Amino acid sequence: MIRAVLALLAALAVASARAAEPSKEDRAEVEACLALAAEKAKKAAPSKDELEESPGAEARLAAAAENAAHAPSSCIGALAKACIKKEGDTSNAALSQCYWREAAVWDFRLNGSYRAALAKMDKAAADNLRKSERAWIAWRDAACQQPELTFKGSMAVPMQAWCMMDLTARQALWLAGWSE
């Protein structure tokens, strides 16, 4: 019975987060991080192509660490972490709420980039983007349901919210590349 209630609450949280448009302040927080990353990227030394790196795990990790200072993907979680710190609460409910807030921002950005990319593409490319986006949504939703199915408890809720935030953000960044 408790598991059914938790599953229902998780489903309601998902529906609520997806339905709500993120606040202008939340969107501005993520945009500020992305703008800072772009600014730092302009000032950074040109990064080596992965084929120019020295071989091996050490070289790959060093290059990844160097690029992280200006990689847009480093902004994933910035809003959620600030939210968690501000709340001063690490309960499952607080974590979930902060992750969903950021997920809503990335979903908003994803949808804008998707529309912009479609507008620039010819019919074949646009049709393929629609197809790939539908497949990605199905994959993301299934992947992010895994914590609930595996753990069947309250800790699964923030894990699911984090998953949705992370995967949606990465897809939003990928789509932004197609819309530029």
Over residues 101-122, the pLDDT tens digits come to 999 999 999 999 999 999 999 9
- Rg of the chain over Cα atoms, rounded to whole angstroms, equals 18
Q: In this predicted structure, what is the pLDDT of residue 10?
A: 47
Question: DSSP of 71-83, one letter per residue?
Answer: -GGGGTTHHHHHH
pLDDT band at 158 (very low <50, low <70, confident <90, very high): very high
Lookup result for tokens 């050490």: 58
pTM for the whole structure: 0.84
- Which of the two residues, 68 and 9, has the higher pLDDT score? 68
One-letter amino acid identity for 146? Q
Query: Which residues fall within 8 angstroms of residue 6, CB to CB, at 6 or more apart?
Result: 152, 153, 154, 156, 157
Query: Which residues fall within 8 angstroms of residue 112, CB to CB, at 6 or more apart?
Result: 179
CB atoms under 10 Å from CB of 7, counted, come to 15
Q: Give dist(CA 82, CA 17) in Å, integer.
A: 18
Mean per-residue pLDDT, 167-173: 98
DSSP E strands: which ranges in 11-144?
A: none
- Which of the two residues, 158 and 42, has the higher pLDDT score? 158
Mean per-residue pLDDT, 36-54: 82
Q: In this predicted structure, what is the pLDDT of residue 8?
A: 45
pLDDT band at 139 (very low <50, low <70, confident <90, very high): very high
pLDDT band at 70 (very low <50, low <70, confident <90, very high): confident
Query: With 80 as the cut, is the pLDDT of residue 180 above it?
Result: yes
Structure tokens at 15: 């529906």
Using an 8 Å Cβ cutoff, are 175 and 155 in contact?
A: no
